[in-house]
Structure 1
């Protein structure tokens, strides 16, 4: 291999452990690798930046706007209202959940689908007296399976197809072409979840059960009207820097002062709510002017228009990962107070301010109403679910949003226009019709995914242009002894393994040129290998970090990593057998 090929190979190989073992975002890792290759002269600017002009990338971006319009109009909530109902028994409840989620995820990005379903499923499970953990993991897995039904199902499908038509325009696929394999894979996977998968999950306690009784992790005191704290600020009263506790809110004359600032003045009869350890009660009792509150109902169980209680699932990209809540000034940055932290189905004990956050931690937060909209699209949180005072979404334009999506599908399926043009027209119609505002469209764009895709294109181009892809393909040919079947199986296994450790988009796009070079070396059609990359990149059932929806349900379901292995390993095997058995039949070598 040439020096450029060796440099490309070393840099790309280093990318995967860096993404898997560090908290640096995949977009930053891949962009850094691309800048390094550009600086070393391995790729020229046109090759490095080619991903930013990819049709697949723009199709993904326009689809994000379409999904945002359905979310903003309450389109997914409308489906939830009609399909969940009141089934009798756990199996029927699971069927009511996964059977609509799988086809829905064939046309919408599964992340907003799962994000919308999670709070509804938690409320639904309480109403039916069913364990939520039996429903949340199947919800995530069903959405992943549904993404294999159409090209719209995942961003990976769209991008891999974009790479395909750039290289082989004559091999362009129809919107439903992969359904010949995707539907059997989804049917087998959903059947497994209904009959076997749910039985493999041991009893677990989710965050909702942990946070059910606020009295367990809050202490309420009152300001003595005749005491020395009246008309003093929170700072002057010594309540700002307590060792074991945070002052969360003040209930005053039927209203509430949420996320209390240091300059707030105390009044006689104020009811103060502190979060922290029970040992902190001793510290409060030593402060003159505070007396224990004897009100029957906890202040946090009351509804106030000035305050919201929300559950937030910490993302693996959150800037507070590894930092203590107090040191990171969480309340100052987000305008929300942490009441409790749930990890692995259990509340994290000890001094609240000393807790170091980890990915998938579930935080119970007290915040002002604007917090939810302001941080719903934040990369710091995978999910923000409101616990009280939630408003029902307006569904007046939901049917219009769904109609626009149906129009996009119709245009792309009939061949009247390309998938890119159909998605672009749909996004424009969503904004012009008022289904999605400009601001909502911007928030709906997942810039991390888009940057990851663009950088992955550049790295793939480096492997291709430098000759590294051909060299790797030659090595693979020797290992599989020139057998196209063994190359197909090897392709599937490698991509499936990488997607468990790093982002599925990067795994697919970076391996694409190597797989194509291997097919060309054998002199066979590249189609079975391209489709294998699509399906293997979605086969992420073994770990909570392999797919974003898996991480989203990890905290609320109170799961452990072993739960994913227990349920996901058989599902991975089943989907691999079905996909590898059908792909060469539909797309012969």
Structure 2
């Protein structure tokens, strides 16, 4: 085997554990691998940059703009308002939730669908008296199942299809071609979630219940009107560097001073809210000029226009992972104060500033109103939702945004134009009609996903041009004993395992050349194997880290790692059996 092939295999082999277990983002790991292969001469500049000109990549980018227009106009909120209702049983509640989620996820990226549904489901679960943890994991799984119905359903489907037509334009697929397999897979999966989901999920306590009583994690004091702290700054009063507590906000004459700075001057009668441990009350009582508050209601239970209480789910790409909140200067960086941290359905006890953040931690934050818009697309947070001060979405252009998406689907389905052109026209129309601003469109682009896709092309090119893909194909054929059925099963299992550890786009793009080479060496059609890659890359039910929507519900639902194995393990097996049985019937070998 040539040296280039060995170098390609070594680099690609090193990429997967780095993406799975290091704190580096998949885009950084993959871009680094491409740069290394380019430096070693395994690929040329054209191959390294080929992903940045891929039709699949641009289709995904334009679809992000369309999805942003629907979110900005409140289009998903409008659907939620009409479909959830007041079901009489848990089974009916699940059907009311899962069917529209799966349907929406067939047309738009499932991440914003789940992000919009989570706050609504938390509120709805209280109204219908169903524990939120029984709804949130099925919500994520339903969105994943819905993504298998159309090529628009996931970015992976679009990218794999782009790779396919770049290789052979005659193999192009229609928008709904995979629905022949996707619809049965989704229906079987949804029935499983409705019938067995409530029985397999143990009782869990979500973040909302943990944050329910502010008095468990806050202490309130007043500035004595005749005391020595009047007209002194927070720094001068010794309130800046407390050991167990930190000053979050000040209520003054019916108004609020949020995210308090060290130079803020105290006034007599100010009501100070501190976050931290109850042991910190002793520290406060030793400060002359502070007296216990005389008001009964907690300040955090009041609604002030100057501040928002926000729940944020920490991403695995957050720069604070493994760092202490105090050391990282969280408040300075984000303009928000951490009030409490929920992990595994329990509030993390102890000194708040000493807590080291982990992926899927749920943070209760106090922030100013612009915080949500400013950080909603931040890679540091998977989900940001308001606890109070929510404004009603404006729906005047929601139907227009949905109409534009319907037009894109119609153009692509009828073959009037390519999927990329249809998505491009839709994105331009969304901007021209004001359904989405240019700024919102830029924020809506998930650059990490786009860079991951683009860089994955370089690794795929290295495997193919160096001959490593052909060698791996020969090994796969030997293990499958020349059987197209065994090879199909092996492809599905391999991609499923990889996508449980790393991003599904990378798993699909890197294995694509090996799959194509295997089909060519076997002398059969590549179509069943390409479709198997699409479905296997979406079958991310085993772990919370396998798919972004799983990580989004992990913290708010108070789940444990084993809960995903319990509910998702059999669902993985069930969807694999249905998909592998149907794929060769629709696309024969």
**Which residue in 2 is equivalent to 1:508?**
508
**Which residue in 2 is equivalent to 1:179?**
179
In structure 2, how many angstroms separate the alpha carbons of the residues matched to 1:218 and 1:127? 27
**Which residue in 1 is equivalent to 2:22?**
22
**Which residue in 2 is equivalent to 1:87?**
87
Measured after TM superposition, the shift of residue 128 of structure 1 is: 1.4
Encode CA deviations 1:293-335: one digit per residue, 9 max, x unaligned: 1201111100100010000000000000000000000000000
In structure 1, how many angstroms separate the alpha carbons of the residues matched to 2:149 and 2:198? 23
Q: 3-state DSSP class of the match of 1:196? A: helix
2:362 equivalent to 1:362: yes
Measured after TM superposition, the shift of residue 4 of structure 1 is: 0.2
2:254 equivalent to 1:254: yes
Measured after TM superposition, the shift of residue 362 of structure 1 is: 0.2
Does the CA-based 8 Å contact 1:146-1:153 persist in structure 2?
yes
**Which residue in 2 is equivalent to 1:301?**
301
Does the CA-based 8 Å contact 2:164-2:172 persist in structure 1?
yes
2:420 equivalent to 1:428: no
Measured after TM superposition, the shift of residue 235 of structure 1 is: 0.0
**Which residue in 1 is equivalent to 2:153?**
153
In structure 2, how many angstroms separate the alpha carbons of the residues matched to 1:97 and 1:198? 14
**Which residue in 1 is equivalent to 2:335?**
335
Does the CA-based 8 Å contact 1:234-1:266 persist in structure 2?
yes
Does the CA-based 8 Å contact 2:496-2:540 persist in structure 1?
yes
Does the CA-based 8 Å contact 2:224-2:269 persist in structure 1?
yes
Measured after TM superposition, the shift of residue 520 of structure 1 is: 0.2
**Which residue in 1 is equivalent to 2:526?**
526
**Which residue in 2 is equivalent to 1:438?**
438
Instruction: Map 1:362-441 onto structure 2 (within 5 A).
Output: 362-441=362-441
In structure 2, how many angstroms separate the alpha carbons of the residues matched to 1:188 and 1:477? 31
Encode CA deviations 1:140-180: one digit per residue, 9 max, x unaligned: 00000000000000000000000000111101000000000
In structure 2, how many angstroms separate the alpha carbons of the residues matched to 1:521 and 1:111? 38
Instruction: Map 1:68-217 onto structure 2 (within 5 A).
Output: 68-217=68-217
In structure 2, how many angstroms separate the alpha carbons of the residues matched to 1:475 and 1:96? 47
Q: 3-state DSSP class of the match of 1:29? A: helix
In structure 1, how many angstroms separate the alpha carbons of the residues matched to 2:127 and 2:584? 46
Q: 3-state DSSP class of the match of 2:366? A: strand
Measured after TM superposition, the shift of residue 198 of structure 1 is: 2.2
Encode CA deviations 1:22-69: one digit per residue, 9 max, x unaligned: 111000000000000000000000001000000000000000000000
In structure 2, how many angstroms separate the alpha carbons of the residues matched to 1:18 and 1:368? 37
Q: 3-state DSSP class of the match of 2:417? A: coil
In structure 2, how many angstroms separate the alpha carbons of the residues matched to 1:93 and 1:514? 43
In structure 1, how many angstroms separate the alpha carbons of the residues matched to 2:393 and 2:522? 55
**Which residue in 2 is equivalent to 1:268?**
268
Instruction: Map 1:308-323 onto structure 2 (within 5 A).
Output: 308-323=308-323
**Which residue in 2 is equivalent to 1:497?**
497
Does the CA-based 8 Å contact 1:430-1:436 persist in structure 2?
yes
Q: 3-state DSSP class of the match of 1:199? A: helix
Encode CA deviations 1:482-501: one digit per residue, 9 max, x unaligned: 11111000000000000000
RMSD: 0.4
Q: 3-state DSSP class of the match of 1:366? A: strand
In structure 2, how many angstroms separate the alpha carbons of the residues matched to 1:221 and 1:418? 64
Q: What's the TM-score, normalizing by structure 2? A: 1.00
Measured after TM superposition, the shift of residue 199 of structure 1 is: 1.2
Encode CA deviations 1:387-435: one digit per residue, 9 max, x unaligned: 1110011000000000000000000000000001000000000000000
Does the CA-based 8 Å contact 2:6-2:468 persist in structure 1?
yes
**Which residue in 2 is equivalent to 1:581?**
581
In structure 1, how many angstroms separate the alpha carbons of the residues matched to 2:223 and 2:276? 19
In structure 2, how many angstroms separate the alpha carbons of the residues matched to 1:200 and 1:163? 39
Does the CA-based 8 Å contact 1:148-1:538 persist in structure 2?
yes
In structure 2, how many angstroms separate the alpha carbons of the residues matched to 1:292 and 1:235? 20
Does the CA-based 8 Å contact 1:152-1:158 persist in structure 2?
yes
**Which residue in 1 is equivalent to 2:468?**
468
Encode CA deviations 1:533-563: one digit per residue, 9 max, x unaligned: 0000000000000000000000000000000
Encode CA deviations 1:233-265: one digit per residue, 9 max, x unaligned: 000000000000010000000001000000000
Does the CA-based 8 Å contact 1:138-1:198 persist in structure 2?
no
**Which residue in 1 is equivalent to 2:51?**
51
**Which residue in 2 is equivalent to 1:559?**
559
Size of the aligned set, in residue pairs, is 589
Q: 3-state DSSP class of the match of 1:340? A: strand
In structure 2, how many angstroms separate the alpha carbons of the residues matched to 1:399 and 1:271? 46
In structure 1, how many angstroms separate the alpha carbons of the residues matched to 2:69 and 2:460? 33
**Which residue in 1 is equivalent to 2:535?**
535
In structure 2, how many angstroms separate the alpha carbons of the residues matched to 1:507 and 1:233? 55
Q: What's the TM-score, normalizing by structure 1? A: 1.00
**Which residue in 2 is equivalent to 1:40?**
40
Does the CA-based 8 Å contact 2:134-2:197 persist in structure 1?
no
Which structure 2 residue ranges, 5 or more long, are not aligned?
A: none
2:485 equivalent to 1:453: no
Does the CA-based 8 Å contact 1:245-1:280 persist in structure 2?
yes
In structure 2, how many angstroms separate the alpha carbons of the residues matched to 1:141 and 1:539? 9
Q: 3-state DSSP class of the match of 2:140? A: helix
Q: 3-state DSSP class of the match of 2:310? A: strand
Q: 3-state DSSP class of the match of 1:349? A: coil
Q: 3-state DSSP class of the match of 2:205? A: coil
